[in-house]
Chain A
Amino acid sequence: MNHKFVVGLLAAAAFAAPAQADKLDDIIASGTLRCAVVLDFPPMGMRDENNNPVGFDVDYCNDLAAALGVKAEIVETPFPERIPALMSGRVDVGVASTSDTLERAKTVGMTIPYFAFEMAVTANDKSGVKSFEDMKGKTVGATAGTFEAIALEKQVQEWGEGTFRPYQTQADVFLALSQGQLDATVSTSTVAQSNVKTGNFPGISVVGKAPFDIDYVALFTDRHEYGLLNYLNLFVNQQVRTGRYAELYEKWVGGDLPDLTVSGVYR
């Protein structure tokens, strides 16, 4: 076989083969959109009485699947397992209230923000914590792997006194808080209100706001999947434009709709 022939054969094969399908194509072709959703994070993701996944993130995934014309599959993913789930190909997209930090964006591709959290301080009533500043020197905790856990741990180090403890799930944080193992926690205000309201955790109350930056959260997928990221960005935009974002916010959270734009800069 001579050299030219081989080259020619390869060239022919390259032209004949269809352009490589990207993830967006794969999802449409497979007929299923698999979303990583954290179901321990009410009201964004949780389970109803019949053990079905419900919440803002679940509805958001369903909307996305509907837009793509495919079936949605909710894959329950605890916070620390979001990236392994994506990288091992168990999920296509994370709809998992993921903070869009620059550090993380080195690993995964983040969309424009689809939700924004404000942080609130919830304290054990016996701890005497009445504000964020009162947490100085106390035993505080948050859910491992979240934006607020990272920020709070940094704050405790800056204060130079007190202890920080990360727990694996939001439920464990509020259990520890209710038992008095923690004096106070910082969580998203939506989570705080929703947990205090359940009555499962007696002796705790939301005492104020935490002066952390607004926690913008994004959808995420593989970093190099520009086709899909582009689609997701447009989808987030459309959700706001069509009023669906406001509708879902009213349904699951209620109150003032958080603004998803940052003034003075493009994204």
Chain B
Amino acid sequence: MFNYTFQWKQAFARLPQMLDGAAVTMQIAILSMVLGILLAITLTMFRLSGSRILSAIARTWVEVARNTPALFQIYMMHFGLGSFGLHLSPFLSILLGITFNNAGYLAENFRGALKAIPETQTRAARSLGFGAAGAFGYVVLPQMLRIAFLPMTNQMVWAILMTSLGVTVGMNADLYGVVQDLNALTFRTFELFALAAVIFYLITKIITIGARLIAARLFRY
């Protein structure tokens, strides 16, 4: 049934190329998370602002980001904007596509986290003399980030896995893109993809363990 002789040597010979790809994957994931968190905080503030327009923008963003496939979002960044003459490189397309997705999901996480913070916190801060911005920035925001820390870790893992969608917009420098190029060259599909899966697994495992350590250190009290 499964007529195949595994040739692991051929796959391992390509390991350096794959690790270079993994570095690019990490780069995309980290950048998209940093940008995504900043955007998500902005969107959350839009929602709190009381302005109807700003809150509508934030709601639309979250709706589209959460209710359409990530593949569609990334494809639109490249070919959708491309049809209007705005040409993003594959790297930017995948980075902005994932950032868009991250921001949408994280904004929703942040909103949930905010709901978990008692309003008395804000009132107490205000009564101590903080302005509205100060109360949010010094008292509410740190608590929000703490509550949303684990969902953020999840999103980071998700961002790493989403980089594999880059191949649809011509990306060939990330881990999945490199593996697919090598596959076309050698037809050693199973070995290459198994190796790539292990690398993906290790990266995400390191991140979840790292996040747990950081959480233990940051949120000790």
Are the chains A and B members of one assembly?
A: yes
Quote the shortest CB–CB distance from A154 to chain B (angstroms). Answer: 10
Binary flags per residue of B157-174, CB closer than 8 Å to A gives 1, else 0 = 000000000011111100
Instruction: Determine which of B4, B7, B82 lies in contact with A87 in the assembled complex, contact meaning CB atoms within 8 Å.
Output: B4
- Please determine whether A166 and B170 come into contact, CB atoms closer than 8 angstroms: yes
Query: Taking CB as reference atom, which chain A residue is nearest B190?
Result: A87
Q: Number of contacting residues on B, CB 8 A?
A: 31
* Interface check A30, CB cutoff 8 A: no
Instruction: Determine which of B82, B83, B184 lies in contact with A145 in the assembled complex, contact meaning CB atoms within 8 Å.
Output: B184
* Interface check B85, CB cutoff 8 A: yes
- Please determine whether B90 and A149 come into contact, CB atoms closer than 8 angstroms: no
- Please determine whether B78 and A87 come into contact, CB atoms closer than 8 angstroms: no
Question: Given A80-B180, A165-B170, A222-B3, do A108 and B79 touch, yes or no (CB 8 Å)?
Answer: no
What B residues does A141 contact at CB under 8 A? 170
What B residues does A167 contact at CB under 8 A? 168-170
Rounded to whole angstroms, the CA-CA distance of A222 and B3 in the bound complex is: 7
What B residues does A164 contact at CB under 8 A? 172
What A residues does B190 contact at CB under 8 A? 84, 87
* Interface check B87, CB cutoff 8 A: yes
A-B contact count (CB 8 A): 85
- Give chain B interface residues in 169-220, CB to chain A under 8 Å: 169-172, 177, 180-181, 183-190
Quote the shortest CB–CB distance from B57 to chain A (angstroms). Answer: 27
Rounded to whole angstroms, the CA-CA distance of A163 and B190 in the bound complex is: 29
- Please determine whether B79 and A176 come into contact, CB atoms closer than 8 angstroms: yes
- Give chain A interface residues in 77-118, CB to chain B under 8 Å: 79-80, 83-84, 87-89, 103-104, 106-108
Interface of A is mostly: mixed
* Interface check B221, CB cutoff 8 A: no
Question: Given A87-B3, A149-B184, A176-B82, do A144 and B167 touch, yes or no (CB 8 Å)?
Answer: yes
Rounded to whole angstroms, the CA-CA distance of A176 and B170 in the bound complex is: 10
Question: Given A176-B82, A176-B170, do A80 and B184 touch, yes or no (CB 8 Å)?
Answer: yes
- Please determine whether A172 and B1 come into contact, CB atoms closer than 8 angstroms: no
Binary flags per residue of A124-161, CB closer than 8 Å to B gives 1, else 0 = 00000000000000000100111001100100000000
Interface of B is mostly: helix
What A residues does B79 contact at CB under 8 A? 172, 175-176, 179
Question: Given A144-B167, A181-B87, do A104 and B82 touch, yes or no (CB 8 Å)?
Answer: no
- Please determine whether B1 and A89 come into contact, CB atoms closer than 8 angstroms: yes
Indicate the size class of the contact surface on chain A: 20 to 34
Quote the shortest CB–CB distance from B168 to chain A (angstroms). Answer: 5
Instruction: Determine which of A83, A89, A150 lies in contact with B2 in the assembled complex, contact meaning CB atoms within 8 Å.
Output: A89
- Please determine whether B184 and A146 come into contact, CB atoms closer than 8 angstroms: yes
Quote the shortest CB–CB distance from A218 to chain B (angstroms). Answer: 13
Rounded to whole angstroms, the CA-CA distance of A176 and B167 in the bound complex is: 14
* Interface check A224, CB cutoff 8 A: yes
- 24 residue pairs bridging A and B, Cβ less than 8 Å apart: A79-B184, A83-B189, A84-B189, A87-B2, A89-B3, A106-B7, A106-B10, A141-B170, A144-B184, A145-B183, A145-B184, A164-B172, A165-B172, A167-B168, A167-B170, A168-B168, A172-B170, A175-B82, A176-B79, A176-B82, A179-B82, A179-B83, A180-B82, A224-B3
Beyond A88-B2, A107-B186, A165-B172, 17 additional pairs, beta carbon < 8 A: A89-B1, A106-B7, A106-B10, A141-B170, A144-B167, A144-B184, A145-B180, A145-B183, A150-B185, A165-B171, A166-B181, A167-B169, A168-B167, A179-B82, A179-B83, A179-B87, A181-B170
By a beta-carbon cutoff of 8 Å, the part of chain A in contact with chain B is 79-80, 83-84, 87-89, 103-104, 106-108, 141, 144-146, 149-150, 153, 163-168, 172, 175-176, 179-181, 222, 224
6 closest Cβ contacts across the A-B interface?
Answer: A165-B170, A145-B184, A107-B187, A179-B82, A104-B187, A83-B189
By a beta-carbon cutoff of 8 Å, the part of chain B in contact with chain A is 1-4, 7, 10, 78-79, 82-83, 85, 87, 89-90, 167-172, 177, 180-181, 183-190
